[in-house]
Each structure stands twice: as C-alpha cells, then as structure tokens.
A and B are shown apart, each in its own frame.
Chain A
Amino acid sequence: MIRLTGLTKRFGATPVLNGIDLTIEQGERVVVIGPSGTGKSTLLRCINFLDRPEAGTIQVGDLTVDAAHASRAQILGLRRRTAFVFQNYALFANKTARQNITEALVTVQRRPRAEAEARADAILAETGLTEKADSFPAALSGGQQQRVGIGRAMALDADLMLFDEPTSALDPEWVGEVLDLMRRVAERRQTMLIVTHEMQFAREIADRVIFMDGGRIVEQGPPAQIFEAPQDERTRSFLRRVTR
C-alpha cells in the first residue's frame, strides 16, 4: 500500500504541493489529471525524492519516510521500491536497450548477470523490441525509446510504478504503441500512478481518477464519475477544455 500524508513542496516562495493526502491500494491504477503547472509531475517526483518535499510522510510498502528528516538510506529505499517512467524517456545513452534494462538489476538489485539478461530479453520480447536489443537509444525512434523506458521500469518489479506524462514528448504516430504497452502493464494489476493528458486512456484503465489544481487534490473518484458527473466547477471547466 502507498500512503502520502500532508505532502508539501515549494519552489522558493511558490507552493507547488499543498499538503497532499493520498492512499493507493495494492494493484490500484490511479490517473492524475489537471491543468499544467498544478503540481502533478511534482507529486510524482516527490514520492521518489527526485524533488525533495519539505513536509509530510511517504509510505511505500514497509517503508515510511518523514520527508522533513529523510536520510540518504531512506531516500534510496523509496527509490528502490518505486519505478519511474520519464516524459523524455531518459534512457542511458551509453547503454544498449538491453543494458538499459539489466543495468539496475545488476548494479542495484545485485542479481546475477545471466538472470538479469533473461529478464531483459523477456521484457524486450513483450515490448516488441527483441530486434532492437543491441541498439543504442540514439538509433531508436521516440516510441521505441519510451517502450524501453517502460521496460526498464517494469523489470524492477517495483511496489509502485510512476508515469510522468509518458506520451507527451512523443510524435503522435508513436503514442498508440506506448499506450498499448501501458495497458498491458495495467492488466497485470501493477500498482500505477500515472500523470497523463490522454483522457480516453485514463477512462479505460484507471480504477480512480484524481483531478489536481493549485497543488491540491480537488476531486477524485472512479473514471465514470469524474468524466461523466464531475462535482467541482474547476473539474468541469478543465474537462470541457480538454475534451472539446
């Protein structure tokens, strides 16, 4: 189970997260929507301390961290219980597709190389990238790079997978294949927290949709409720704008 309480983050004097409380059950798939600049990405980045929250607690599985007094070991612990998919893929440019997946399995999880490579090959097959196993990121299309990025995150067997606008940087022609892969991940009841602007996708795969505005959770509920019968005026006006 994932539990955030009172998670607070400011950039200088500007508050970005205003005490976020959120509980995510094991196997739950939660999609975060909302206008840009409302702290959606920051929320994800605070959970694994890519951005350092000022206050609040973060619980992932058996580890609970007080954000204000997080030790280096605790931060490492959170990162090793979560996996992150970046908007701009952020693949290791000096590693092949296969090495991008095996890297953390070998260096962080200390798994035997043969086992890590078998796992990587299974994931490459699943993501349709077997032929690209030995290609470096520079030689892959945006869609292929992001599939490797998701594969790298899948391989970690994390308690929570975080997706930070995984299709926003993609050319439209590659969006479909990336969403298809995310659908397959979701079908396995992997616990997921996804920030996206793909409303149709959110409606399909989410167990719960969260609408954020101004660093707060304004409204949340099953996709049918949020998309068909939003309660808050801000949610309604946002959905009118994005669904036209």
Chain B
Amino acid sequence: MLGLVPILLGYLPLTLFMAVLSMACALVLASLLAMERVARIPVLDGIVVLFISFFRGTPLLVQLFLFYYGLPQVMPFLTNMTGVQAAIIGLTLHFSAYMAESIRAAIIGVDRSQWEAAEAVGMTRTQMMGRIVLPQAARVAAPTLVNYFIDMIKSTSLAFTLGVTEMMGATQKEAAGSFLYFEAFIVVALIYWAIVEALSFAQKRLEFSLNRAFTR
C-alpha cells in the first residue's frame, strides 16, 4: 500500500501546476470582474452579471465537458486543445465567478472615507484601487480566497474525466491494475488531505502578516 505513495506523488506536480496556474488566472480575472461590479460600467455590467451567473449556476463538471468535448465541435480551432488546457480554462472561469463576489464584497467593505481621501489627494481611480482599496480588500478576502484555492486543488481531480493523468487519474489506473481499490483511494485521499493541511498552516501565516497594520 505504501508503495503507492511515491507513484502517486509523481503526479502531484501536474495537480499543483493546474491548481496554481488556474488560481493565478482566476485571481486576476476575479479582481477585474469585481472592480467592474463596483464601478458598474454600462453594457459591460450586464455581460459580467451574466458571466458570473452562468459559471456559478452550472456544475464545474458540465463546464469542463462543454469546453473539452463540446466547444471544439463548433469552434474547430479548439480541436488541438489538450485536457490540461481545458481543465485550466474551466477551473479559472468557474472559480473566478465565485471569487469575484467575495472580492467585490471586500472592496465595498473598505471604509468609504479612505476612497474620498485618495480622491482628495488627487489619485487617479487606478491609483486609488491599486494603492489603497485593493490591498485592504485583499486582507478581508484572503481567508475566503484560500478556501477557494483549497477547493480548486481538489477540483483538479475532475481533469481525470478529460483524460488527463493527474493524481486522481493515476490512482484510478493503479487501482484498476491491482484491484486494490480501497488502498489506492485511501492513499490519494490522504495525499489531498495533507496538501490542504499544509495550506491551512500557510493561511494562518498569511493572515498574520496581512493583519499587521491593523493590530495595536
């Protein structure tokens, strides 16, 4: 049973690669979506609302199948898309919709008088968001965003349904080859659990440093 551990860990880099890259893209996209939701730019606002509604309102698995199996039929240039690419795009879009809402709430939570102070000293909107509002919103949003990252890591296992041999896909193969289903799946469960625990530890450190400015 323990012999499985090094085999499965060999696929950990791919799992982490998908999770980290998707998370980075989702953070950028979610911040843009959130800022639009706060600014409410005409026309664009309707599109953003629709985007968030769709990607929150449909299962991730459906979205992944739609990207990987469905879209290439109507958009032939997508035929060469790999399973890993489709998974990263799907995870990015899906999680950015959720994260946009928590980032938006965090932005609105920043004390209004500080927005005014930033305007009063003559900052542009971009400077105000980048220097004053977003750094403070990040502190509020951080615990929720780490939560989404945890969810993201576990959701990379769905990439196996797109034919990607990541950790879950490898487990499936090992299990099928040896008929040791219980052993295989309990080992992969423990590996995911260990990763998430490590991340929770990092979360505490992150929150401590983000809160530095706000403790006496």
Give the complex CA separation of A50 and B113 in angstroms.
Answer: 10
B residues in contact with A152, CB < 8 Å: 121
Contact of A138 with B213 in the complex, beta carbons under 8 Å: yes
Which A residue sits closest to B127, measured CB to CB?
A: A107
Majority-rule SS of B interface residues: helix
A residues in contact with B215, CB < 8 Å: 138
Which B residue sits closest to A45, measured CB to CB?
A: B116
1/0 per residue A77-94: CB within 8 Å of B? 001101110101011111
How many residues in A have their beta carbons less than 8 Å from beta carbons of B? 27
The one of B116, B127, B213 in contact with A94, judged by C-beta atoms closer than 8 angstroms, is: B213
The one of A82, A86, A94, A139 in contact with B117, judged by C-beta atoms closer than 8 angstroms, is: A86
Q: Knowing A136-B213, A139-B216, say if A108 contacts B113 (CB, 8 Å).
A: no
Give the complex CA separation of A125 and B131 in angstroms.
Answer: 25
Q: How many A-B residue pairs have CB under 8 A?
A: 71
Q: Is A48 an interface residue (CB 8 A)?
A: yes
Give the complex CA separation of A82 and B121 in angstroms.
Answer: 8
Contact of A79 with B216 in the complex, beta carbons under 8 Å: no
Contact of A86 with B122 in the complex, beta carbons under 8 Å: no
1/0 per residue B116-149: CB within 8 Å of A? 1111111110010001100110010000000000
Contact of A92 with B118 in the complex, beta carbons under 8 Å: yes
Q: Is B82 an interface residue (CB 8 A)?
A: no
Give the complex CA separation of A95 and B133 in angstroms.
Answer: 11
Contact of B117 with A108 in the complex, beta carbons under 8 Å: no
What are 11 A-B interface contacts by the 8 Å CB criterion? A49-B119, A50-B119, A50-B120, A84-B117, A86-B113, A90-B117, A92-B131, A92-B132, A95-B213, A108-B121, A139-B216
Supply 16 further A-B pairs (C-beta < 8 A) apart from A138-B214, A152-B121.
Answer: A80-B122, A83-B120, A84-B120, A86-B120, A88-B113, A90-B113, A90-B114, A92-B117, A92-B118, A92-B131, A92-B132, A93-B136, A94-B135, A94-B139, A94-B213, A104-B121
The 8 closest A-B pairs by CB, nearest first: A104-B121, A80-B122, A90-B113, A84-B120, A90-B117, A79-B122, A136-B213, A108-B122
